[in-house]
Chain A
Amino acid sequence: QITLKESGPTLVKPTQTLTLTCTFSGFSLSTSGVGVGWIRQPPGKALEWLALIYWNDDKSYSPSLKSRLTITKDTSKNQVVLIMTNLVPVDTGTYYCAHLPGYCSGGSCYRGAFDVWGQGTMVTVSS
């Protein structure tokens, strides 16, 4: 059974840096094709994809936030960390991490959609 859990501060001041940790179980980020992503949701609004890291350490970022985001993984600890710098109030919302299934065969890789999500962690940016 795959589970993910987000952790981090609930309140951050503007201009500060946010560090969120996703701790997961039930899969390994060293398995070919697999990834973990971060998605956020402002209160009452739509979902916004932020970043993704794959088993081979390939990383993808939302172009609009790329300069402020860093995603890393620690395979031995089953953790993925998202760092967001220079926070502003509009960054307030629930931050989710999610499992991205996939596999590689014959030199090609297939990926699925985010199939298991953590419960999310609410982050408020306010002075």
Chain B
Amino acid sequence: EIVLTQSPGTLSLSPGERATLSCKASQSVSRRWFAWYQQKPGQPPRLLIHDVSTRATGIPDRFSGSGSGTDFTLTISRLEPEDFAMYFCHQYGSSLPWTFGQGTKVEIK
């Protein structure tokens, strides 16, 4: 099983600041089957990034994904008030099970 470890657990920032979220995989993720989700309380996850760096439909360009192999990053260039939420990374590669990280909470400082 590929274990995804996200860091930090909590990120305290102010609106307008840059957020950098990390996700490290215990094994190399096959091809580019890696995604990021945003989740707010009481809501389902919302797909932000798939295939490592492709923004999902309707996602603003302040969100960007990068990485390869075992190290992946989600960057939010300038935090908007609606960006304060929980973020999960996810690998959906060729080896089962598909797994999610434990989450990074981005909170208002």
Contacts and interface: CB of A to CB of B under 8 A. Distances in A.
Interface of A: 39, 45-49, 52, 60-64, 96, 98, 111-120
B47 A113 contact: yes
A20 to B, nearest CB: 15
B50 A117 contact: no
B72 interface: no
A58 to B, nearest CB: 12
7 contacts: A47-B90, A47-B100, A63-B1, A113-B35, A113-B50, A115-B47, A118-B44
B44 A119 contact: yes
Interface of B: 1, 33, 35, 37, 43-47, 50-51, 56-57, 88, 90, 92, 96-103
Contacts, number: 57
Contact of A46 (B46, B96, B97, B103): B103
A98 B46 CA distance: 11
Chain A contact surface mostly? loop
Closest 8 CB pairs of A and B: A113-B35, A117-B44, A113-B50, A47-B100, A49-B98, A62-B97, A46-B102, A115-B47
Contacts of B97: 49, 62-64
Contacts of B92: 111, 113-114
Contacts of A111: 33, 92
A46 B47 contact: no
Contacts of B45: 47, 96, 114, 117
A74 B62 CA distance: 40
Contacts of B1: 63
A48 B102 CA distance: 10
